[in-house]
Amino acid sequence: MNNSYVILYFQKLINRLHFFCEYTRIRKLGVPEHWIGASKSLIGFLEVYNRIYSFRAESIPEKGVRTEALHLIRIMPAEGIMKLRLYFFLFIVCSIILPSTAFAGGKQDTAEKIVVVYTYDSFASEWGPGAEIAKRFKEQTGYTVNYVICEDSGSVLSKAIAEKKNPRADVLLGINAFLVDKTRSAGVLEPYTSPNLDKVVPQHVIMTDDQLLTPYDWGYFAVMYDTQSKVPAPQSLEDLTKPEYAKSLVIMDPRTSAPGLGFAAWTKAVYGNDYLSYWKRLKPSILTMSHSWSAGYGLFTAGEAPLAVSYTTSMAYHIRYDKTDRYQALTFAEGNMIALEGMGVVKNAPHRAAAHAFIDFMLTEKAQEVLPETQWMYPANTAVQLPESFKTVPMPKKSLTISGTEAETAVDAIISVLEK
């Protein structure tokens, strides 16, 4: 088995344990405290392990998380303790086996026709678009793509910064819009304008004027609504503060989750300097703030809450794989926050020509058509025909955005409000 896939199993475990802790706390199931304590301790071990080796525990499909979490609850306590011991044993084994492994797939050799791409795990995983894109890229150009899996988009950038004096990556892929300012100030990328850019990418998804980052997919943050719930669908952010939505909304921690940060930025964009007053009004409506999107969204799809923060395109996932339109993406009167992801050429990249070729290819229909039902985002190339699952996903009438600096500044203040 590819070593990166072994790590993905550990990441699934982290999210399963997060979900277990959230689920048992909300449902007040009377689970022994030592069991929950053991789960949280193992989460800590695994998260430290992930950070050391730059692995990501964010985008595991919620359906698998939910199934495993409910299974964990059913088998408590005796078998559960044994299962935790087994997980911990596997953790120790992989700690010994994996540290020296290079997830780039081997040593770099500038004479080889390769391109080294730093990205996050959901892109390069078995369910993501990375493998198919690498295959098509090699068929067209002869270049082999070596993915290096990082924890998240922030870790992609951090790894490049750490290697700034001796760059090993050619392309950074997955830098979101909130990291644009930090990326520019870090000085790890160089501008590159692909000849394919103006032909296919709409102006509203352009991330930087000088093309320091080139967008490859985009979408909107949204509140997802369970149509089988007993509350009406809110029509605005302000509606969420009404008493009828008490303990109805699952949000994600903006310090550890992209949708969590997106929602925080959304409130700042709408309410400006009064955003903290909004969060004080919103607080009674929040059921829980989960560590990750998958843990929080798993609570939503398990029926624990009628509302959850996610993306408008989450609706397409349910249509495609669950064969249901039960879960609806809401577009609000104030507008929705746009989500952008970009890629850039590393300054002094070992394989600069390959990096340019990869970015050019990523904007072609051959690459872009892979994205919708693997990334669950819109492709940057407007010539790509969207699959049937996307046809009923609503498009917000107004697109909102703020700088990464503004978003990050708001986070600490929001957390302070929630923790009081």
- Reported as a single tens digit per residue, the pLDDT across 150-209 is 978 889 999 999 999 999 999 999 999 999 999 999 999 999 999 999 888 889 999 999
| Claim to verify: residue 76 and residue 7 sit in the same structural domain | yes
Residue-number span of the structural domain to which 320 is assigned? 219-337+395-419
Of 97, 125, 159, which residue is a domain's last?
Answer: 97
| Claim to verify: residue 197 and residue 261 sit in the same structural domain | no
The whole-number pLDDT of residue 26 equals: 58
In a domain, 159, yes or no: yes
Query: CB-based contacts of 186: which residues, under 8 Å, 6+ apart?
Result: 157, 160, 161, 164
Q: What is the pTM of this model?
A: 0.76
Q: Considering only 289-293, 334-338, 347-351, which range has the smallest mean pLDDT? A: 289-293
Q: List, for residues 9-61, the tens digit of each pLDDT value.
A: 555 565 555 555 555 555 555 555 555 556 655 655 555 454 444 333 333 34
| Claim to verify: residue 178 and residue 300 sit in the same structural domain | no
Q: How many Cβ atoms from other residues are within 10 Å of residue 76's Cβ?
A: 18
The Cα angle at residue 71 between residues 69 and 73, in degrees rounded to 5:
75
The whole-number pLDDT of residue 17 equals: 59
40 HSE (CA, 13 A, CB side): 11
Of 97, 132, 160, which residue is a domain's last?
Answer: 97
| Claim to verify: residue 77 and residue 37 sit in the same structural domain | yes
Query: CB-based contacts of 249: which residues, under 8 Å, 6+ apart?
Result: 223, 240, 282, 285, 286, 287, 305, 307, 308, 309
Q: How confident is the model at residue 402 (pLDDT cuts 50, 70, 90)?
A: very high
| Claim to verify: residue 223 and residue 138 sit in the same structural domain | no
In a domain, 84, yes or no: yes
Q: How many domains is the chain built from?
A: 3
In a domain, 103, yes or no: no
Q: List, for residues 50-99, the tens digit of each pLDDT value.
A: 444 433 333 334 344 343 343 333 333 444 445 445 555 544 544 444 44
In a domain, 132, yes or no: yes
Is the per-residue pLDDT at 355 higher than 70? yes
| Claim to verify: residue 197 and residue 240 sit in the same structural domain | no
- Going 408 to 414 to 418 to 420, the CA torsion angle's sign is positive
Better-predicted residue by pLDDT, 364 or 29: 364
| Claim to verify: residue 331 and residue 362 sit in the same structural domain | no
In a domain, 105, yes or no: no
In a domain, 407, yes or no: yes
Q: Is 389 helix (H, G, I), strand (E, B) or coil?
A: helix
Q: Is 220 helix (H, G, I), strand (E, B) or coil?
A: strand
Q: List, for residues 241-278, the tens digit of each pLDDT value.
A: 999 999 999 999 998 889 999 999 999 999 999 999 99
CA distance 270 to 254: 17
| Claim to verify: residue 286 and residue 415 sit in the same structural domain | yes
Of 72, 97, 122, which residue is a domain's last?
Answer: 97
| Claim to verify: residue 140 and residue 209 sit in the same structural domain | yes
Q: What does the DSSP 8-state code read for residue 347?
A: T
* Closest to 230 measured CA to CA, from 213, 247, 215: 247
Rounded average pLDDT over 375-389: 96
Is the per-residue pLDDT at 327 higher than 90? yes
CATH number at residue 243: 3.40.190.10
Find the radius of gyration of the CA atoms of the chain. 21
CA distance 149 to 156: 8
Place of tokens 């922030």: 154
The whole-number pLDDT of residue 126 equals: 86
In a domain, 109, yes or no: no
| Claim to verify: residue 313 and residue 250 sit in the same structural domain | yes
Whether the Cβ atoms of residue 389 and residue 319 lie closer than 8 Å to each other: yes
In a domain, 328, yes or no: yes
Across all residues in the chain, what is the average pLDDT? 83
| Claim to verify: residue 352 and residue 401 sit in the same structural domain | no
| Claim to verify: residue 76 and residue 151 sit in the same structural domain | no
